[in-house]
Amino acid sequence: MKLVKITIILFGLIAWHSAQAQDLFLDSLEVGDNPLGFETLKDQKKMEHTFIVNYMPGWITSKVLTPYKDYSWQDGQGYEVGYRCLFDSGYGFAFNYCHNQTNYPFGYKLGLDYVGASFVYGGHISQKWIVTTEIGLGYADYTDAGRKMKDGFGTKYALGMENLLGKVVGIGFGLSYHTSTFSKDKDYDYYDSDKYRNGFNRLSFNLGLRIYL
């Protein structure tokens, strides 16, 4: 609950800053040629390059089976680094790496890694705000106390907003949902049931820095 409260407070500060800050950009906007009519700043480049760093507190929403007990909605910490290219049409692509760490009793320390490419759609809804949606597919693995256990494939779904503090720097926040799937381990009885998928789902808050080029 502390993580949720801290995240809400940070979102409130961002919104307050947006309301108080003076306009740093060109006064005029033009609507780009894209289905949702996202606005683009005049004289901006045809491609907007963005570097992303996110702090990602969240929860593993899927049931985690251990020899001792089954767990659901266990909270943990994470981070993300990535690059995004967004065209003035509103379409774009991204590459990102995410790592999450969730600790369980009995010394079980679950690390989740994801690296992949994403399809992105979004753009400026005003001079100071950008909205993006993202769907990705990539490689995933998990570790136990730092030891690599299994790897497979993962997916990413994300929705975010960004507040431009200047022409180069901004702050972003939103939600992301990662899934990972691995082959079943027949050596353990608690994986034998067909109703359980050997993998993890994780819901995260995203809050971090944006650098625009």
Q: pLDDT digit of tens for each residue in the chain (213 aa)?
A: 454 454 445 445 444 444 443 333 333 344 445 545 555 443 456 889 999 999 999 999 988 877 778 888 999 999 999 999 999 899 999 999 999 999 988 778 899 999 999 999 999 998 899 999 999 999 999 988 778 888 999 999 999 999 999 989 999 999 999 999 988 765 555 444 555 668 899 999 999 999 999
- Domain borders along the chain are 2-212
User: In this structure, are residues 212 and 86 in contact, taking their beta carbons and an 8 Å threshold?
Assistant: no
What pLDDT does residue 88 have?
A: 87
The CATH architecture one would assign to domain 2-212 is Beta Barrel (2.40)
Length of the chain: 213
Check residue 192 and give its pLDDT: 45
Q: d(Cα 17, Cα 12) in Å, to the nearest integer?
A: 9
Distance CA 198, CA 182 (A): 6
Tell me how far apart the alpha carbons of residues 66 and 77 are, in angstroms, rounded to a whole number.
Answer: 20
**Residues of 139-150 as b/e, b for ≥16 C-beta within 10 angstroms?**
ebbbbeeeeeeb
